[in-house]
Structure 1
Amino acid sequence: MYTLYWEYMAGSIVVQATLELLDADYRMRYVDMEASEHLSPDFLKLNPAGRIPALDLPNGTTIGETAAIVTILGESHPEEPVAPQPGEPDRAAFLYWLNVMSTAGYVTSSRVGHPERFARDDTAITQVKEQADRDFAGFFRLMNKTIAGDVFFLERGLTALDFYLTMLSEWISDREALLRGLPRLRDLCAAVRETPAYRTALVTHRIPSLDATG
């Protein structure tokens, strides 16, 4: 059994969606980052980087970092279409764009969602947020041009890349406005949101206060 350590609207979205697509046997363990549980001695024994998500593998190993996790899951379940396998022609493209998403995309999303972590005074925080929104929009324009499949990112069809890219889109400041101008990305995200695996993950990760306010 896998154990997924998760937080609301975190990178654990893509890991849960991948586990769901694999029909894997897994359980969830919530880590309250606002209460600094990710920095507790017990959690740091599992993931010394103190980051979410982390995943306990069936062999007892714990691995962190979303890109590493989905790569391992793909290799552990070669019969499922999560990721191209070593030796397949689109394996290099998968790894390349997965790392672009996890660096250029995910890191920028942190500045979008938490600019206060990157500056000290209100003026600087505002500037960080404005620049982050511009950088995030540029990242998604690149993704829109790079989509190779009819709907999904790779020509082969649905993979973990599509979960990752759609997850990143959840963190756009004005999601609908941006997607209106990026039709290929809009269609990809809409298709992914219709998959049972991603829907399950998004329901799990939705912040409870959003459910209360609608």
Structure 2
Amino acid sequence: MAEPFVVFGASGSGSVPIEAALSLIDVPYRLEDFAPWEGQEEADRLARINPLRQVPALALPTGELMTESAAILIWLADAYPDARLAPAVTDARRPAFLRWMNFVSSAIYALYWITDNPARIAEDEAVQADVKTRVFDRIATCWAQMGAQLRPGKYLLGEDLSVLDLYVATASRWSPGRRRFYEVAPALGETMRRVDGDPRLAAIWAERFPFSPGWER
């Protein structure tokens, strides 16, 4: 490897499952933190990496830059098959893997562009509050759909932990929170608790998305 991967991200953000995947694959990477939601200056600083001013992004050892969390996770899992973080292309579970990776990205993750700053689509503060409530309801509905259609084994796709588990374990901690996630998708709860408690991930969770008191809310 010419140089380590570079992860552009932030604590508690969509970069966390990517950092977790790199840790499980056991390849070196450097972390550069950006939190564009903290103000215009920080967002502008990120613009040189990603003109959309969003994290995560991943610089490959070749110098190529990848954005889009689902794409990055799928690529990493496929590029390092020995880590067993995704079903192989010929595996019967592959269609479900691709389906749910893209579902989390498009049906759930994309909605946080609105909830992070409702003023992007509504000027009135009262309307903004209603927008957030409705979007969080939509997110809960999407988790419910996933929970109703997946039949997890030890992990979401069977006996092997995959990047899908890392993705859902992170995204399900964002609002409306794990408590509601457990309510609407009870079939997925045990699996997520298993991912939370995986000793291989303890350091990543502690450093990048700590389980603070009351975090499940």
Percent identity over paired residues: 27
Q: RMSD over aligned Cα, in angstroms?
A: 2.2
Q: In 1, distance between residues paired with 2:60 and 2:23?
A: 15
| 1:138 and 2:141 matched | yes
User: Among residues 48, 69, 79, which one is paired with 2:72 in the alignment?
Assistant: 69
1:37 aligns with 42
1:58-87, Cα deviation, whole Å (9 max, x unpaired): 222111110111111012101111112223
User: Among residues 7, 11, 28, which one is paired with 2:10 in the alignment?
Assistant: 7
TM-score, with structure 1 as normaliser = 0.85
1:160-193, Cα deviation, whole Å (9 max, x unpaired): 1111111111113343244145322211210110
Once the 2 structures are TM-superposed, how far is the Cα of residue 11 of structure 1 from its aligned partner?
0.5
Q: In 2, distance between residues paired with 1:178 and 1:74?
A: 26
Q: In 2, distance between residues paired with 1:181 and 1:54?
A: 31
Q: Which amino acid in the other structure matches residue 87 of structure 1? A: T
Q: In 2, distance between residues paired with 1:185 and 1:103?
A: 19
User: Among residues 202, 205, 214, which one is paired with 2:205 in the alignment?
Assistant: 202
Runs of 4+ in 1 over 4 A off after TM superposition: none
Once the 2 structures are TM-superposed, how far is the Cα of residue 126 of structure 1 from its aligned partner?
1.4
Q: In 1, distance between residues paired with 2:181 and 2:89?
A: 35
| 1:185 and 2:198 matched | no
1:13-66, Cα deviation, whole Å (9 max, x unpaired): 1111111111121121111312443433xx444433332011111222111110
TM-score, with structure 2 as normaliser = 0.84
For 2:83, what is the secondary structure of its paired residue? coil
Moved more, 6-15 or 104-113: 104-113
- Retained in 1: the 8 A contact 2:6–2:59? yes
- Retained in 1: the 8 A contact 2:85–2:160? no
Q: Which amino acid in the other structure matches residue 183 of structure 1? A: P
- Retained in 1: the 8 A contact 2:7–2:19? yes
- Return closer, same or farther for 1:65/1:177 CA change in 2, 3 Å cut-off: closer
User: Greater relative contact order: 1 or 2 (C-alpha under 8 angstroms, separation 6 or more)?
Assistant: 1
User: Among residues 23, 27, 35, which one is paired with 1:20 in the alignment?
Assistant: 23
> Where does structure 1 lack aligned partners over 5 or more consecutive residues?
none
- Retained in 2: the 8 A contact 1:74–1:85? no
- Return closer, same or farther for 1:59/1:136 CA change in 2, 3 Å cut-off: same
Moved more, 137-146 or 193-202: 193-202
| 1:108 and 2:111 matched | yes
User: Among residues 127, 131, 137, which one is paired with 2:130 in the alignment?
Assistant: 127
Q: Which amino acid in the other structure matches residue 110 of structure 2? A: V
Q: In 2, distance between residues paired with 1:179 and 1:114?
A: 26
